[in-house]
Amino acid sequence: MDSSRIRYPSSQQSPRRTRLLCSFFICLSLLILTILILVILGFTVFKPKKITTTVNSIKLADVNLSTGGVNVSIDVSLTLNNPNKVSFKHGNITTELKHRDVFLGEAIVPAGEIVSGKTQEITVTLTIFAQSLVTDTYIPSDLLNGTLPLSTITTVSGRVVVVKLFKHHLVSKVLCDIWIGIKDRKVENSNCNYKNKL
Ligand SMILES: *[C@@H]1O[C@H](CO)[C@@H](O)[C@H](O)[C@H]1NC(C)=O
Ligand SMILES: *[C@@H]1O[C@H](CO)[C@@H](O)[C@H](O)[C@H]1NC(C)=O
Ligand SMILES: *[C@@H]1O[C@H](CO)[C@@H](O)[C@H](O)[C@H]1NC(C)=O
Ligand SMILES: *[C@@H]1O[C@H](CO)[C@@H](O)[C@H](O)[C@H]1NC(C)=O
């Protein structure tokens, strides 16, 4: 049947259409309002804040010297802080160990989560074995000099997700220069630089 032939009295048609239009606009306004509130929350309460990594201490855990060389293990104690209103999920935390820009190895702290507003303490143990130092030409002279200069790079990378709408990638890096006294078997000095990115 051709619908154009059906005629409704105009007095009946108008209120129905008005009611329909009304509920449509109410729905639209509610939707816009909800989006607006979410956006405002996203830029205020849930605005991403940088994850920070702080080095608490660097200690020499072990030094074994022999004619074969030296084995050294270092404990780096770190505090991670998540100031965000939501959890921070991070991947593997890696700490690279270098000696005069030569890569010696890395330690991995498994992926995890830091809940909102909390801190987490982690200790990374880095071990250098004599074997890996054979190819490193500077080690003998450094050992004779009595100071072994090392550097570490710790990278924490992950993200915060706010109601599946706002995802922010956050990276925190710590670069430390460490000087180890061979004779007194101590960390003589250390200096750390922090880089936190949103
Ligand atoms: C260093 O560690 C390696 C591997 O564990 C071991 O074979 C070697 O004897 C160690 N050397 C010293 C001086 O402790
Ligand atoms: C040093 O030697 C001790 C005893 O042999 C061993 O338990 C320790 O793991 C060694 N440390 C390193 C860094 O090789
Ligand atoms: C995280 O570390 C584990 C164990 O070391 C490794 O098997 C895994 O592949 C790492 N994951 C990533 C994404 O690198
Ligand atoms: C020897 O060690 C001292 C610190 O104990 C350092 O200032 C100096 O640069 C080192 N020399 C070499 C050649 O590494």
Tell me, in angstroms, the distance from the centre of ligand 4 to residue 101's CA.
16
Q: Which ligand is nearest to the CA of 184?
A: 4
Phi, psi of 13 (to 5 degrees): -70, -40
Ligand 2 binding pocket (C-beta < 6 A) is 62, 64, 71-73, 127
Q: What pLDDT, on the 0 to 100 scale, is given for residue 178?
A: 94
Q: SS3 for 22?
A: helix
- How many secondary structure helices (H) and strands (E) does the chain include? 3, 10
1 vs 176, more confident: 176
State the Cα–Cα distance between residues 157 and 109, nearest whole angstrom: 12
Q: 32 with 67, same domain?
A: no
Q: 168 with 108, same domain?
A: yes
Q: 17 with 95, same domain?
A: no
pLDDT in tens, 19-62: 888 888 889 999 999 999 888 887 888 888 999 999 999 998 88
Whether ligand 3 lies within 6 angstroms of the CB of 157 is answered as: no
Q: 83 with 166, same domain?
A: yes
State the Cα–Cα distance between residues 28 and 70, nearest whole angstrom: 72
Q: 9 with 27, same domain?
A: yes
Residue whose Cα lies nearest atom 14 of ligand 2: it is 71
160 vs 13, more confident: 160
Instruction: Return the CATH number at 142.
Output: 2.60.40
How many domains does the chain fold into?
2
Q: What pLDDT, on the 0 to 100 scale, is given for residue 63?
A: 80
Q: Which ligand is nearest to the CA of 133?
A: 1
Q: 56 with 16, same domain?
A: no
pLDDT in tens, 86-141: 999 999 999 999 988 888 889 999 999 999 999 999 999 998 876 656 666 777 78
Q: 78 with 175, same domain?
A: yes
The yes-or-no verdict on residue 80 having pLDDT over 80 is yes
Instruction: Quote the domain boundaries for residue 8.
Output: 3-43
Question: How does DSSP assign 33-57, residue by residue?
Answer: HHHHHHHHHHHTTT-----EEEEEE
Q: 37 with 56, same domain?
A: no
Q: What pLDDT, on the 0 to 100 scale, is given for residue 1?
A: 47
Q: What pLDDT, on the 0 to 100 scale, is given for residue 88?
A: 95
Q: 139 with 105, same domain?
A: yes
Q: 71 with 15, same domain?
A: no
Q: 59 with 112, same domain?
A: yes
Burial level of 3, CB count in 10 A (0-12/13-18/19+)?
exposed
Q: What pLDDT, on the 0 to 100 scale, is given for residue 116?
A: 94
Tell me, in angstroms, the distance from the centre of ligand 1 to residue 51's CA.
37
Residue whose Cα lies nearest atom 1 of ligand 3: it is 92
Q: 11 with 89, same domain?
A: no
State the Cα–Cα distance between residues 197 and 85, nearest whole angstrom: 17
pLDDT in tens, 138-172: 777 887 888 889 999 999 999 998 877 788 999 99
